[in-house]
């Protein structure tokens, strides 16, 4: 059975555009599935565009902050200047580590000590690790919707197609008229749900893979920055004998 020929024949016979004719011949169940897939496609595209902009902004801010951080003489210089950089994952990691280190350096009088203990530095490390995990989760949030679109949309489309073909053959069996003209409208209408499912899944698949790659790059950069930061903190605020 040649699907394009069936669609063309249907469209030409009625004088309507193929998609309009097929939509008119689709069952109520198929139309519900297609509407749901259209809504799902809007959500998927919104997530892809939103996450792409978020990761692009995060990468740009990370570059700026990394350059500024490496020009500082002391590791807490940026913290002492009360600099704010909302939306920058590296800054959030730096801020969390600096807050913890500053708290460990403060004595009861509120003055900053010269050195911090090994136990105190371990608390700083845990703060950095916790913030790296939180920032990674922020960047990852929403990607589950794309994963669902990739795996679920084709099955929804297939469900609509199987349902439509079943209804078509059931109707033909009741009518006792198994001609091509009788079968073509129902089969073509049933196949449109599979097309709709693939149109949702294919862009979502490419978008998901691209976003996951960028997420891994950003996460590795955050891990590397956290290691660099804790090394500088240990060098500057830990006694060599500890």
146: left (phi over 0), alpha (psi -120 to 50) or beta: alpha
Query: In the chain, where are the structural domains located?
Result: 3-237
Q: How far apart are the C-alpha atoms of 68 and 51, rounded to whole Å? A: 25
pLDDT at 64: 93
- State the Cα–Cα distance between residues 219 and 131, nearest whole angstrom: 11
Residues 156 and 33: their CA atoms lie apart, in Å, by 7
- Segments of the chain scoring below 70 in pLDDT: 1-16, 19, 21, 23, 25, 110, 176-186, 240-242
Q: What is the spatial distance between Cα 167 and Cα 163, in angstroms, rounded to a whole number?
A: 6
**Residue 241: its pLDDT value, please?**
55
Predicted confidence at residue 144, as pLDDT, reads 92
Q: What is the pLDDT of residue 7?
A: 42
SS3 106: strand
At residue 167, the pLDDT reads: 77
Q: Which has the closest alpha carbon to 152: 190, 191, 204, 189?
A: 204
pLDDT, tens digit, 9 for 90 and up, residues 58-74 = 999 999 999 999 888 88
Phi-psi region of 63 (alpha: psi -120 to 50; beta: other; left: phi over 0): alpha
Q: Please choose, from the candidates 200, 203, 194, the residue with its C-alpha nearest in 3D space to the C-alpha of residue 30.
A: 194
For residue 216, give Cα distances in angstroms to 13, 127, 208, 213.
53, 21, 12, 5
């Amino acid at each position: 059975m040649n699907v394009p020929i069936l669609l063309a024949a249907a469209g030409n016979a009625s004088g309507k555009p193929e998609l309009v004719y097929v939509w008119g011949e689709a069952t109520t169940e198929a139309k519900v599935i297609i509407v749901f897939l259209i809504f799902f496609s809007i959500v998927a595209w919104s997530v892809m565009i939103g996450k792409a902009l978020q990761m692009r902004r995060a990468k740009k801010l990370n570059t700026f902050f990394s350059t500024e951080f490496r020009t500082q003489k002391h590791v807490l210089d940026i913290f002492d200047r009360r600099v704010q950089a909302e939306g920058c994952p590296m800054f959030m990691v730096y801020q969390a580590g600096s807050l913890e280190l500053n708290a460990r350096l403060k004595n009861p009088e509120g003055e900053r000590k010269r050195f911090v203990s090994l136990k105190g530095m371990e608390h700083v490390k845990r703060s950095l690790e916790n913030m790296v995990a939180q920032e990674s989760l922020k960047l990852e949030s929403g990607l589950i919707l794309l994963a669902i679109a990739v795996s679920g949309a084709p099955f929804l489309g297939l469900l609509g197609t199987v349902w439509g073909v079943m209804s078509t053959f059931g109707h033909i069996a009741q009518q006792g008229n198994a001609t091509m003209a009788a079968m073509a409208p129902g089969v073509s209408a049933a196949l449109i749900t599979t097309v709709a499912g693939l149109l949702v899944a294919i862009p979502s698949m490419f978008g998901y893979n691209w976003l996951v790659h960028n997420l891994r790059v950003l996460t590795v950069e955050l891990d590397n920055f956290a290691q660099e930061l804790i090394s500088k903190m240990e060098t500057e605020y830990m006694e060599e004998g500890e």
